[in-house]
A and B are shown apart, each in its own frame.
Chain A
């Protein structure tokens, strides 16, 4: 048997000076008030990738809006004498097979590509987001129909569906290409929004707001959607790159923008014919496309990390 005397432990009391006690549950006012969005901004700001991605995106936006800042050479004035010519003074990237200035075409081509991407993204987010939110929030038959219709579109590959539809479309403009892409791309966002809304709908603060007398629709707009929007923002940012690629693919196949519209997809398509003799003509529009897509993908990545509730929890 153990000796009971040796295992007896004394009543120890710490000195009050070593363990001062604070008032119960007092608000810590030492730090500034912060919203979740401010927190997300804080998290993003610290990442070099955010700054790389955002400066690239900023550069792309400037190129789209003010192409003449970067080049005075007209992309459409071409001399066959310069066909596949090497870089010379004033023409840093050389000439295409038609004798057009490659640098100028890359700069001016940004407009169509980025426009299609952005318009598609906006359409998809608005339409898919709204449909998904309503379906998830109200449920019932609306949800059943939306989910099944979404499934049908989901089963069609984006590009394949677009190819078929673009063939029957009378006018091919940036907006019509965007519309067609959006038609096949909305179910993705709708699904994500629906899932997020489903989980937000069952939270106590939603029940509390309803019990407080806020109308059901207002609860959706004020509480459910703001709390479900984060994953949608992430996917929308990432998808922007996908849409730009889809437009390029369609244009490459001759089904996107008409050949007289300058776009990276068209230029890549045309450069294909001279890939053996002058690969640089293909390289530059492709590089521009890749960098643009990469910029948005990186941005999406940073945004996801910042909005991820796991990494957002503050301790």
Chain B
């Protein structure tokens, strides 16, 4: 640990150039029913003109709160309790509201996280951009309209003039994010705060937008403060990095230096858990050292553990457990009147999943990957084709046969907040499939619940808790336990780790790998995140617009992608080539 770092920092302040933004010992508290909860506890950060700084950290680390306090956008119950925010030498925390309003938008722009909810659906795009331009006194009257068009053009909407009268729902997520970036940069501010600006978007769109943002801010000389959970993005886009944990800065400095050589144990943990293209598949530790606590401490996953691949290859049976042949799914979408339009969600898809292996279906939103999962789970009926499970055609199964199938193929869904019934405690949730299939007596079911909780590394007392009290990762582990209750052969994991923080994600992926070895499970893993695929999958099918464009073993797809689309996907992963220090 370098203890002298704090002292040397003080000298920099007295240097020749004044930083654009300097946050000193910032403390922010939230007033709750249980008293004041401090969310930010003594944060320091410095940003010079034209620089890009990224704040990384998991959810709840205080990174968004820090950004919000800079432009006085804290939720009503939040308050800066100590410290200074110096912007061009002025302390923003002491400015009256009117003066802050002048700074906000004009000098400091803001790009919010969710493009879906941050544009008002009842006003046209043109109106909303113009509103920002007028509010910041960039231009008035007719000139404001011209400026609006210019701003949108700069943000990458080439046909901006024709689109002014359109409404947010007529724009895709990527286009909306461009509009929000346009609004944020409309006054050519000196600082732009971008709070997870692209985390809701597909990787290829993300790349375009980040490239564009970089060009714009370079042209305007704007400094950028990124809030992100994506270390790859930070490595690729930011010169400076601030790592936050529980409201404190644990490490800060030049981003590549930190990520290549993390010093603080937390940063080390974070870096080693970050999935990247350089990662390798997580191997089960059961073969080596079953009780190694490191596995659940996260990190150090892919290089310390013993390879199992050769063993797996030997054991692989010839016949696929699940085989999908020429499956097509057509949806009818009702249009105005009695007309309906056909949508080909899944188009002539074929692939097989071997027993005991993990096959990943990768694709961007709208590629049909989740529909394939629903078809296999028999939650939707196929339009044509054939799905076989263990040699049996499962399309259109009914009654007892369907129940038998359900017992063997279980789903785990994406949203950890929606997947568990909030009115049911964990014990009842896990016992539900046992009850539905009338397995065992009440006592036996209880014993099984305890066993399952143990398998997903949750304390047995968890069974009395309600989902509202658990974190996202914990809920997802409960969802896995529920899926395992009936001792199924296959788990269909639909974006099961996508909503989780990197460390928690790593932990769940480790757990899944452990369980696969222990219980000889077969996984169908649906995800948009190629880096995660590298960690968990043996085989990959890349989907685009309802079709499988490339299917091969994971190593082949990553080392030697054949299709252009796959190459584009791989190239779009932020920081994909960056060598993280592990």
Contact = CB atoms under 8 A, between A and B. Distances in A.
Interface string A187-230: 00000000000000001110111111111001000110011000
Given A13-B2, A36-B466, 10 more contacts: A3-B15, A12-B252, A19-B246, A24-B269, A31-B469, A37-B423, A204-B414, A211-B406, A214-B433, A315-B32
25 contacts: A2-B48, A11-B251, A11-B258, A12-B251, A12-B252, A13-B1, A13-B2, A13-B250, A13-B264, A14-B250, A14-B264, A16-B264, A23-B297, A28-B469, A29-B461, A36-B466, A37-B423, A39-B468, A203-B418, A205-B421, A213-B407, A213-B433, A214-B432, A223-B424, A227-B422
A98 B234 CA distance: 87
Contacts of B245: 19, 21
A148 interface: no
Nearest to A202: B418
B17 A2 contact: yes
Give the one of B19, B433, B503 with max A CB within 10 A: B433
B197 interface: no
A27 B470 contact: yes
The 10 closest A-B pairs by CB, nearest first: A6-B15, A11-B253, A213-B406, A204-B418, A212-B433, A214-B436, A33-B464, A13-B263, A12-B5, A7-B48
Contact of A9 (B2, B12, B265, B483): B12
A310 interface: no
B465 interface: yes
Interface bracket on B:
35 or more
A35 interface: yes
B267 to A, nearest CB: 8
A18 B6 CA distance: 13
Contacts of A7: 15, 17, 19, 48, 51
A11 B465 contact: no
A25 B473 contact: yes
Contact of B257 (A11, A19, A213): A11
Interface string A162-199: 00000000000000000000000000000000000000
A276 interface: no
A21 B461 CA distance: 24
Interface in A281-315: 314-315
A15 interface: yes
A213 B437 contact: yes
A82 to B, nearest CB: 56
Given A19-B246, A27-B470, A212-B410, A207 B379 contact: yes
Contacts of A15: 1, 3
Nearest to B421: A205
B425 A213 contact: no
B421 A227 contact: yes
Give the one of A33, A218, A226 with max B CB within 10 A: A33
B504 interface: yes
B474 A6 contact: no
Contact of B466 (A18, A35, A218): A35
Nearest to A206: B421
Contacts of A13: 1-2, 5, 250-251, 263-264
A31 B9 CA distance: 41
A9 B240 contact: yes
B468 A36 contact: yes
Nearest to B5: A12
A227 B462 CA distance: 22
Give the one of B414, B423, B471 with max A CB within 10 A: B423
Interface in A1-57: 2-3, 5-16, 18-19, 21-25, 27-29, 31, 33-37, 39
B15 A25 contact: no
B263 A33 contact: no
Contacts of B15: 3, 5-7
Nearest to B504: A25
A16 B266 CA distance: 9
Interface of B: 1-3, 5-6, 8-9, 12, 15-17, 19, 30, 32, 37, 46, 48-51, 240, 245-246, 248-254, 257-258, 263-266, 269, 296-298, 377, 379, 403, 406-407, 410-411, 413-415, 418-425, 432-433, 436-437, 458-459, 461-462, 464-466, 468-471, 473-474, 479, 482-483, 486, 503-504, 507
A24 B8 contact: no
Interface residues of A, number: 50
A29 B482 CA distance: 21
B423 A36 contact: yes
A11 B254 contact: yes
Given A27-B459, A29-B459, A9 B253 contact: yes
Nearest to A38: B466
Contacts of A5: 15
A213 B263 CA distance: 49
B5 A10 contact: yes
Contacts of B420: 205
Nearest to B293: A23
Nearest to B49: A2
Give the one of A2, A3, A204, A222 with max B CB within 10 A: A204
Interface in A118-135: none
A138 to B, nearest CB: 17
Contacts of B437: 213
Nearest to A16: B1
B26 to A, nearest CB: 15
A218 B419 CA distance: 17
Given A13-B251, A16-B1, A227-B421, A6 B411 contact: no
B41 to A, nearest CB: 9
A25 B482 CA distance: 19
Contacts of A10: 5, 8-9, 12, 253
Given A2-B48, A6-B15, A27 B474 contact: yes
A34 B466 contact: yes
A208 B424 CA distance: 14
B465 A33 contact: yes
B410 A14 contact: no
A36 B422 CA distance: 7
B436 A212 contact: yes
A264 B248 CA distance: 65
A2 B47 CA distance: 13
B469 A33 contact: yes
Contacts of B5: 10-13
A211 B376 CA distance: 11
A24 B423 contact: no
B246 A33 contact: no
Contact of A227 (B419, B423, B464): B423
B258 A35 contact: no
Nearest to B46: A9
A224 to B, nearest CB: 9
